[in-house]
Amino acid sequence: MNWFRFKSLLLFYFRAITRYNVQSPFLYDFVTNVLDITKTYYVFDKIELERNKLLCNFEKIEITDFGAGSAQIKSNSRSISKIVKNSVSKKSKCRLLFNLVLHYRLKNMIELGTSLGISSSYLASSDPNCELVTLEGDPSIIAFANSVHNNLGIRNIKIFCGRFSDTLPEALEDINTLDFAFIDGHHLEVPTLEYFELVLNKCHNNSVVIIDDIYWSKEMNQAWNVLINRPEVTLSIDLFDIGILFFRKELSKQNITYIPFQYKPWRIGLFG
């Protein structure tokens, strides 16, 4: 962990609240039914079995990376196993995505950053009637993602290959309204803000946008701070690894930093 992330983690911890400090009914519902639940679904084990297969795959492929690259790996030649370890969303994050999409019954979704297809499998498995469009820059990676989706029998995913700046406008043309967007790629401030702007044009009052790796670098954190101050954003939730944006006009403007209670057990509302 670099110095910026370490310092940011300390600051995050000290300002974070737990479920016992939540007052808004909407936020309490979100914490109770999306963040702090341990319920599992049968599909979780199936998807994690695919992840484990990829973890055991030491085949090396050449990656065409259009973004900021990996913080851990500088070479464009990477094994599938290392891609899984360093670039694919962790199980806890994927389950959060699944819980969120399921709880709010989000149907029309887009993901920027397919990688090996694990997070997209979680998203698409939340409802067989939902539609997920996912974007990936590298065709070799897409081949593995397609294999994962096929092994799981998932049929409600469409993948676009190429630079996000080219494929995102094309993908959005066929979407009337967007319920959910997961922006997980490029990891640079200006492109992240540009992608958000394009996605926002398709969003509505109940849409949810998630920005991944908001403390990946100072630049990504700057992008996050710009986004939470947008007038369209009425509620932002900082979970350190990801940031969640809501646009519901019925909510009062709030920027929340949240941590599960078990990591901060003394924060029970008695002392703030």
How many CA atoms within 13 Å lie on the side-chain side of 81?
A: 6
CB atoms within 10 A of CB 11: 12
Q: Is the pTM of this model over 0.85?
A: yes
Encode pLDDT of 64-87 as tens digits: 765 544 444 445 788 999 999 998
- pLDDT band at 168; cut points 50, 70, 90: very high
What span, in angstroms and rounded, lies between the C-alpha atoms of 1 and 219? 16
What is the domain-level CATH number for residue 259? 3.40.50.150
Asked if 126 and 102 count as a contact pair (C-beta separation under 8 A), the reply is: yes
What span, in angstroms and rounded, lies between the C-alpha atoms of 131 and 9? 35
| Domain span holding position 252 | 3-263
Asked if 180 and 108 count as a contact pair (C-beta separation under 8 A), the reply is: yes
Encode pLDDT of 73-122 as tens digits: 445 788 999 999 998 999 999 999 999 999 999 999 999 999 999 999 99
Number of folded domains that form the chain:
1
What span, in angstroms and rounded, lies between the C-alpha atoms of 99 and 159? 22
Q: Is 132 inside any structural domain?
A: yes
Q: Is 65 inside any structural domain?
A: yes
Q: Is 268 inside any structural domain?
A: no
pLDDT over 90 for what percent of the chain?
82
What span, in angstroms and rounded, lies between the C-alpha atoms of 82 and 198? 32
